[in-house]
Structure 1
Amino acid sequence: MLIKRDKWLQYRILRSRSSLARRLPKTQLLNKNTLAKMLGRYHSVVLKPRDGSYGRNIVFIKRKGANTYRVQNENNAVTMRGTDKVLKWLRKKSKGHRYIVQRRLQLAQIRHKPFDMRIMTQRKKGASSAWNVTGSYAKVAARGYLVTNVTGRPIPLLKALKLAKIGNRSLLVKAERVALLAAKQLGERYPKLRQVGFDIGIDRKRRVWIIEGNYRPDLRPFRRLKDSSIHRRILWYKKH
């Protein structure tokens, strides 16, 4: 089966397993009704292109008051009145891309900047092979941005949890367990799938969330980790 890069499809595959459903932020296909409903229910939402990658064209919307919203794309923010205006602005910008609307997580922070985890899961050839966590690092949003990325050297996860004063090894083990369960679920749908780089968030209440899985994750940040064995392990799994 063709492995399709589609955030909405992936959300539905993961949500079909009850133990993963509670790990997924509420997500809907974007239209006028769902945007109004989600903004009514949550203080802040994220709009993502269904086929997007590398954090491009992601839009954050925060409710400021009655029918007034702060809309941020990259490090540019504007205030708009009414969801109609927001959608009109997005249509101009999106060039035909279809979007999902997702509840925005209040991610744990490092030095007042949100961060999430990239957890790499891989398996050897053969649909019956077991999934393993082969590498991980923390991604921190640059100043003025809300999307997390790797601008400097990626941060080892235990160090990131310590800097954020949010948890220790047991929280990391929990996050890895969630990533492996999600990898197994996606692997059942796509027998030829052999790697998924998961973006895993920890909110301020120490709850673990699956933000999304990337079927073609960027491996360059793993090369920049001090522990070079992580990158070597990932490359070994890609060959075997």
Structure 2
Amino acid sequence: MVFQRDKWLQYRAFRNVPLLAKRLPETQLLENEALHHMLLQHSSVVLKPCDGRYGRDIVFIRRLKTGTYQIQNENNIITMQNKSELQDWFDQLNKDREYIIQQRLYLARIQQRPFDLRIMVQRQKANSSPWKVTGSYAKIASRGYLVTNVTNRTIPVLKALQLARVGGRKLLLQVERTALLAARSLEVQYPDLRQIGFDIGIDKKGRVWIIEGNYRPDLRPFRRLKDSAMYRRILWYQKH
């Protein structure tokens, strides 16, 4: 079964749950007014296609004190000299796709590179089967990138939290509880949903943020982990 991939729809499902709402960055549908409003509220924002996958076409916009705007897509950076140039750039943005705009999260870093956590949650085919965390790893961004989708490094979650000096098992438990609650909120929208790969961010102050949930998560990174128990457990849940 194919589940609709829509970041805006997902955001609205999460914000209706008070315990999840506080873990969401400020988010709006991208329109002209929303762009300028968000840049007044936040010095840096991120634009994401609602139907995007693998971090493609994600754009970071940073408002500098000089009145210029720095735009970064993947490892490409360009500068707009003023609001008028930014407006011209915005008008050329692909209007065939719907975007959301969010406040940028300043994620915790390992060796000056941001990272986030992939938390895999699944449930069995039986009706009312509870959601379980079946796997996890940390994704570290490649040098020069702000998104962790471009990475060649995956490491165990606890090791990442310790390297970044933001927490340990207590924080991991908080992350896992957040992912399970988020799964239950999406279950209302999609009763047949059985697996979600959540991207969870930890900022520099150790706060937990929901980035998004993926309905067809890539399992290859689990195969690359030294401990194969997670991968075997994930495959078991897919079959049962």
Q: Specify if TM > 0.5.
A: yes
Query: What are the residue-to-residue correspondences of 1:126-165 with 2, within 5 Å?
Result: 126-149=126-149, 151-165=151-165
Q: By how many angstroms is 1:119 displaced?
A: 0.3
Name which of structure 1's ranges 148-157 and 166-175 shifts more when overlaid on structure 2: 148-157
Structure 2, unmatched stretches of 5+, are: none
Instruction: Count residues with an aligned counterpart.
Output: 240
Post-superposition CA distance 1:74-129 (Å, at most 9, x none): 00001113455335435545362211000111100001111000000101113411
1 CA distance for matches of 2:62 and 2:138? Answer: 25
Name which of structure 1's ranges 7-16 and 92-101 shifts more when overlaid on structure 2: 92-101
| Distance 1:143-1:2 versus aligned 2 partners, 3 A rule | closer
Name which of structure 1's ranges 153-162 and 59-68 shifts more when overlaid on structure 2: 59-68
Q: Is 2:6 the partner of 1:6?
A: yes
Name which of structure 1's ranges 202-211 and 65-74 shifts more when overlaid on structure 2: 65-74
| C-alpha contact (below 8 Å) 1:137/1:154 kept by paired residues | yes
Q: Could you tell me which residue of structure 2 aligns to residue 233 of structure 1?
A: 233
Q: By how many angstroms is 1:151 displaced?
A: 3.2
1 CA distance for matches of 2:37 and 2:81? Answer: 16
| Distance 1:234-1:83 versus aligned 2 partners, 3 A rule | farther
| C-alpha contact (below 8 Å) 2:140/2:152 kept by paired residues | no
- SS at 2:230 equivalent: helix
TM-score normalized by the length of structure 1: 0.95
2 CA distance for matches of 1:100 and 1:138? Answer: 25
1 CA distance for matches of 2:126 and 2:87? Answer: 44
| Distance 1:163-1:38 versus aligned 2 partners, 3 A rule | same
Which amino acid is the alignment partner of residue 17 of structure 1?
A: V
2 CA distance for matches of 1:192 and 1:86? Answer: 43
Q: Could you tell me which residue of structure 2 aligns to residue 54 of structure 1?
A: 54
Query: What are the residue-to-residue correspondences of 1:81-100 with 2, within 5 Å?
Result: 81-83=81-83, 85-86=85-86, 88-90=88-90, 92=92, 94=94, 96-100=96-100
Q: Is 2:97 the partner of 1:104?
A: no
Q: Could you tell me which residue of structure 2 aligns to residue 188 of structure 1?
A: 188
Q: Could you tell me which residue of structure 2 aligns to residue 39 of structure 1?
A: 39
Q: Could you tell me which residue of structure 1 aligns to residue 218 of structure 2?
A: 218
How large is the RMSD of aligned CA atoms in angstroms? 1.7
Q: By how many angstroms is 1:19 displaced?
A: 1.0
1 CA distance for matches of 2:133 and 2:70? Answer: 38
- SS at 1:94 equivalent: coil
Q: Could you tell me which residue of structure 2 aligns to residue 65 of structure 1?
A: 65
Post-superposition CA distance 1:2-30 (Å, at most 9, x none): 73100000000111111110011110000
TM-score normalized by the length of structure 2: 0.95
Which amino acid is the alignment partner of residue 4 of structure 1?
A: Q
1 CA distance for matches of 2:157 and 2:87? Answer: 37
Q: By how many angstroms is 1:149 displaced?
A: 3.0
Q: By how many angstroms is 1:229 displaced?
A: 1.0
Q: By how many angstroms is 1:166 displaced?
A: 1.1
| Distance 1:29-1:41 versus aligned 2 partners, 3 A rule | same
After TM superposition, the runs of 4+ consecutive aligned structure 1 residues lying more than 6 A away are none
Q: By how many angstroms is 1:66 displaced?
A: 5.6
Name which of structure 1's ranges 86-95 and 107-116 shifts more when overlaid on structure 2: 86-95
Identity of paired residues, percent?
62
